[in-house]
Chains A and B, each alone.
Chain A
């Protein structure tokens, strides 16, 4: 049984998605990534059901510092006697939500800018893309550090900094897709029918450009999670006591020689999440590539 046959296509559009899905599930690595990511996502969503933020995640018990892993504390406790297991699980919420928020912000702004630049060309294209070139010329981490250093830490500024870092990349991808699409016959046809520019972009161009955007989005989430962790690691990210993985790593680093197990849980969490998203992104790219049809 395959998904393709069970959802026998009535519209061409559905069959295309089904084809993509069929190609995707054939890719074993991509499926492993998807399952891993799904597990992480479920953990992030349901963790409040069995973890209490106030009493499990941030409450300190100074008398229980640096307890080794045990049944009560699966991954042990940290320097303030907080349960690392609860913190790592809760950390998934922070990393995922920041990652997804950055993608949504940069996707919206990047799509609009990229679509405008690609569709209208000329002076609009020049202004938007030269500005994006300026942003791209500054190394991403440096740009983010500068913004956070200027505006101060905290989650809003971090979101802003990481979104600004990602917008130019998103804009370029959307623009290049639009450039190849706008010369297609069906766009000419739509234009001949008197369709407005906004509708052409919204109805014809964006849906057809969605493939590369999706790939870019999934990779951006992965990259953002790394960025958040590295920013927190150097003390410019999310402020304590939030259990951000990078911040946990940074704290654990000071105790590395004494309690090496402290770095394991947050480190593995970052690796798993980022790897799973990268695998999904790669799988999507292969699945969306028409040349890979088999």
Chain B
């Protein structure tokens, strides 16, 4: 529980930089570098080579350009097409947030508060079946054309029909442009948090003409993104960086940071050192092992909040061994969540007892998790006929924040006599296996795309999403009671009633041990102390347009 304050946010602000850097000296170095090469061409080649290996030089770092921000992310997004990836993909979100805009945005400090973005205001009809948005006028796309309500309706309808958004759009029917300034979103049934869903970057507003032109001439939208955001796309070097520059006709006015470069460095320690040495100003996705050191460093600010999701074990109920509820219960009883947090996350994280992110609407506070019970687990296994032990496959993606905690889980399973063979897989292969239900136990993560329990439990528990390739009911839960609870909770407009329903659902989940939630991690951004205006937020919305360099003192 390091650095957690009462309001649930955690920050470790440090004092302003104490050591002053001699800027003139660095600029000389910059000059020397720029003129050092025999030709301009050689310099470009060299710069490319430097970018390729993920390093930047002093010439581009601290003290050199006060109008450039280098933003390190551990993982490169696969695409920049809205809806081209799952709605909970934080690594897409970190980049896309700066390129695209949505109708509404989450307040930086409180996820449940909505702020206008491309919509000036909105009104939910009394019957709850439609939302009327008043659209901002004079908004320009990056190619200079003006955004119309036609574009807004087109983008919303596109998002509604995309398969990747199926977990978000179940209640949405269609969007219609009624006049030059109003777009109405029609719903199939009343759904309280519908406007919150629209903060998801998968609902970014696109230019209809541009998307249709891309489709016509085969241009990949995901590699040539174009929106209305504060920054416009310049280039993307695979495995190295994505470059953007400030959009001069942005509807939000002028921004202080002219150039924004996302740099992808997969090794957290290397990335941390790059930030600390001033080669970058922002760093998303730091490994828990690197945080204590960076907190000590007065040149950087570590901003950690509770993340929007949680890590959990999903047990494939279609599997021969795991279809036996006693085996699943035994696995559930073997887990000690605090040990996983301490051993696998360096103590940075919170226990997640239920399959709902702590702190979001619908989280059942009264839930009591069964304690760890090694002897009971062994007895259950013996009862199920596995008194001599059992070998099982345990899958997880290759990243440290999965593979480290899962080793503690592996050890806890060993203690009850389950030999869990660890399969640390490439993320794409892991996702494919999960999607095809080609696994026994998997350690994975799910995020709340908007702060409401429904967006998580509906896709995890509803039988509509079970046994179908690509669908999200990973454990293949087919249970009438679970269906009834998630459906009732989705359509109820009373928060207390919904919380009670979710409490029942969580108890049902514990009784049957389909999903075993383990821990909620931190969502951390590390910023150079020179950069002002950065706040941690669990939705991973980092709007660089809000940031400025602190004046030199």
Contacts and interface: CB of A to CB of B under 8 A. Distances in A.
Contacts of A81: 343
B343 A60 contact: yes
Interface in A1-33: none
Contacts of B411: 58-60, 80, 241
A48 interface: no
A257 B422 contact: no
Nearest to B289: A254
Nearest to B276: A257
B57 interface: no
Interface string B398-437: 1010011001101100100000011111100000000000
Contacts of A256: 269
B423 A239 contact: yes
A69 interface: no
Contacts of A65: 342-343
A80 B404 CA distance: 9
A149 interface: yes
B348 to A, nearest CB: 13
B373 interface: no
B390 to A, nearest CB: 16
Interface in A251-283: 253-258
B439 to A, nearest CB: 13
A152 B426 CA distance: 10
A121 interface: no
A97 interface: no
B528 to A, nearest CB: 18
A241 B407 contact: yes
Interface in A81-100: 81
Q: How large is the interface on A (under 10, 10 to 19, 20 to 34, 35 or more residues)?
A: 20 to 34
Contacts, number: 60
Contact of B426 (A79, A149, A255): A149
B421 A239 contact: yes
A58 B414 contact: yes
A84 to B, nearest CB: 15
Nearest to B290: A257
B292 A258 contact: yes
Contacts of B423: 152-153, 239
Contacts of A79: 289, 343, 346, 404
Name the residue in A60, A149, A152, A154 with the highest tally of chain B Cβ atoms < 10 Å from its Cβ.
A60
A99 B414 CA distance: 28
A231 B61 CA distance: 34
A79 B345 CA distance: 10
A258 B410 CA distance: 25
Contacts of B287: 254
A240 B422 contact: yes
A140 interface: no
A255 B268 CA distance: 10
A187 B404 CA distance: 60
A224 B422 CA distance: 23
B398 A62 contact: no
A239 B289 contact: no
Nearest to B411: A60
B424 A153 contact: yes
B269 A239 contact: no
Contacts of A254: 268-269, 287, 289-290, 400
B408 A80 contact: yes
Contacts of A241: 407, 410-411, 422
Nearest to B422: A239
Contacts of A258: 289, 292-293
Contacts of A58: 411, 414
A62 B342 contact: yes
Nearest to A59: B411
A211 interface: no
Interface string B274-296: 00000000000001011011000
Given A79-B343, A153-B423, A253 B269 contact: yes
A212 interface: no
Contacts of B289: 79, 254-255, 258
A152 to B, nearest CB: 7
Interface string B314-349: 000000000000000000000000010011001000
A257 B293 contact: yes
A99 B108 CA distance: 55
Interface of A: 58-60, 62, 65, 79-81, 149, 152-154, 235, 239-241, 253-258
Given A239-B423, A240-B407, 17 more contacts: A58-B414, A59-B411, A62-B342, A65-B342, A81-B343, A152-B425, A154-B421, A235-B398, A239-B422, A240-B403, A240-B424, A241-B407, A241-B411, A254-B269, A255-B289, A257-B269, A257-B272
17 contacts: A58-B411, A59-B411, A60-B407, A60-B408, A79-B346, A80-B411, A152-B423, A152-B425, A153-B423, A153-B424, A239-B421, A239-B422, A239-B423, A240-B424, A254-B289, A254-B290, A257-B272
Instruction: Give 6 nearest A-B pairs by CB, closest first.
Output: A62-B343, A60-B411, A62-B339, A239-B422, A254-B289, A62-B342
